[in-house]
Each structure stands twice: as structure tokens, then as C-alpha cells.
Structure 1
Amino acid sequence: MREHTRGCAGLLLAFVGAVTAVLAWAPKARVSVHGGFEGLHRDLSVLYVDLPLIAAGGALLPTAVWLLALRVLRRPWLALLPAVAVLALGVWSLLSWWTPYRPPEIVY
């Protein structure tokens, strides 16, 4: 496989990983952006702190695994299998463990 084709495949994997991670994260972060009842729980720090970290993790983690598997397996499309598995595991862990901060309810 030519070098520029391998580089394009790596960029495509990084893009797909970042988009997948952000789309999986967005429904959980909706509460913090929308704010809930009368906007009392609005926390926009999820947009400038969590969003870049989620996108970077989604782009870098599968790409790094793909590059490591490529060095071992020497077949780019065979190395894609562990990268996709790591992306799926990363999205699962994101949906399982990450929860946006919710301040306590205000009692009047």
C-alpha cells in the first residue's frame, strides 16, 4: 500500500473516531447545555472543556491503535479491526462512565 493512501486512511479513521465520539457524547451533554427547568442547571463548560477532550480522544485513540497494529500486522485493512474495536470500547466506556456535573436541586 502506498504511503499517501495509508496516510489518508489514518486521517479518515481519526475523523470517523472524533465524529463518532462526539455524536455518542452529545445526548448526555444536552442536559448541561439546555439547562433543564428554566435553565437552572446550565453548564456550558461541557462545550469548551469536555467537547475538545472527547473529540481528541475519539480521534487519537483508534488512530494510535491502528498505527501500532499496522507495525505488527503489516496489513492496513487488517489493522483496522483492533482500531474499530478500541473505538467501540471507548464509546461504550464514555457512555457508561461519563456523566455531566449536575448541581443539587434548589429547594424553595
Structure 2
Amino acid sequence: MKEEIKGLAGFLVAGLGSSVALLAWAPLARVSVEGGFDGRHQDLSVLYVDLPLVAAGGALVALAFWSLALRRFHRPWLAALVSVTAIALGIWGLTSWWAPYQAPEFAY
């Protein structure tokens, strides 16, 4: 029974990482989806390229740190703390590094 709870906790950590990554990524990608002034710079590739990569990356980073910390420390609460810290650092890296291309509007 204890192993099942650890597996469920790992699944929940992966879901948390994925959802938090998407929630942090969405405001940055809004400019590409809406397209700026009159929709002239709309780039929907962020939906079929970046969205799955961000969701998978958030889940995999959280799950990798969960399993490594659980294997190393044998304490689920410490593994959860390490995973949440890894998620926070990953989100910080995502929001500071990734920025969608924004073409200039008009040159007057």
C-alpha cells in the first residue's frame, strides 16, 4: 500500500509541474495567439509546438526530481519539497528565458 501512495504522489507532482508550467507560459504566449494589432503577427505554432513541450517539460522535471529525491532520501515529504523547488526554478527559467517573437508594429 505504501508504494501505491508514493506512485500516486509522483503522479500528482507531475500533474502539478505540468499545470504550473502551462499557467506560467500562457501569458507569455498570448501575444502570439492574439496576433497583436489587427492579428497581423499571429503565430499559432506556439499552440502545437511550444504548448506540448512546456507541459511535458514541467511534468518531466517534477517527476525526475521526485524520483531522484525519493531514491536518495527515502522520505516522501522531502522528495515533495525537492520537486516543488525544482518546479519553481524551472518556471523561473522558463519565464526568464522563453519569450515569443514579437515583430515590430509600424515604423513611423
What TM-score do you get using the length of structure 2 for normalisation?
Answer: 0.94
What are the equivalent positions in structure 2 for 1:21-100 lying under 5 Å apart? 21-100=21-100
CA apart distance, 1:24: 0.3
> Unpaired runs of 5+ in structure 2?
none
d(CA) in 2 for partners of 1:77, 1:22: 24
d(CA) in 1 for partners of 2:37, 2:103: 13
CA apart distance, 1:37: 0.4
Three-state SS of the structure 1 residue aligned to 2:49 is helix
> Unpaired runs of 5+ in structure 1?
none
Aligned residues: 108
For 1:76, the aligned partner's letter is P
d(CA) in 2 for partners of 1:36, 1:96: 21
Three-state SS of the structure 2 residue aligned to 1:3 is helix
CA apart distance, 1:103: 3.0
Three-state SS of the structure 2 residue aligned to 1:100 is coil
- Identity, in percent, stands at 62
For 1:50, the aligned partner's letter is D
Three-state SS of the structure 2 residue aligned to 1:43 is coil
CA apart distance, 1:104: 3.9
Counterpart in 2 of 1:6? 6
What TM-score do you get using the length of structure 1 for normalisation?
Answer: 0.94
For 1:14, the aligned partner's letter is A
For 1:62, the aligned partner's letter is A
d(CA) in 2 for partners of 1:2, 1:88: 27
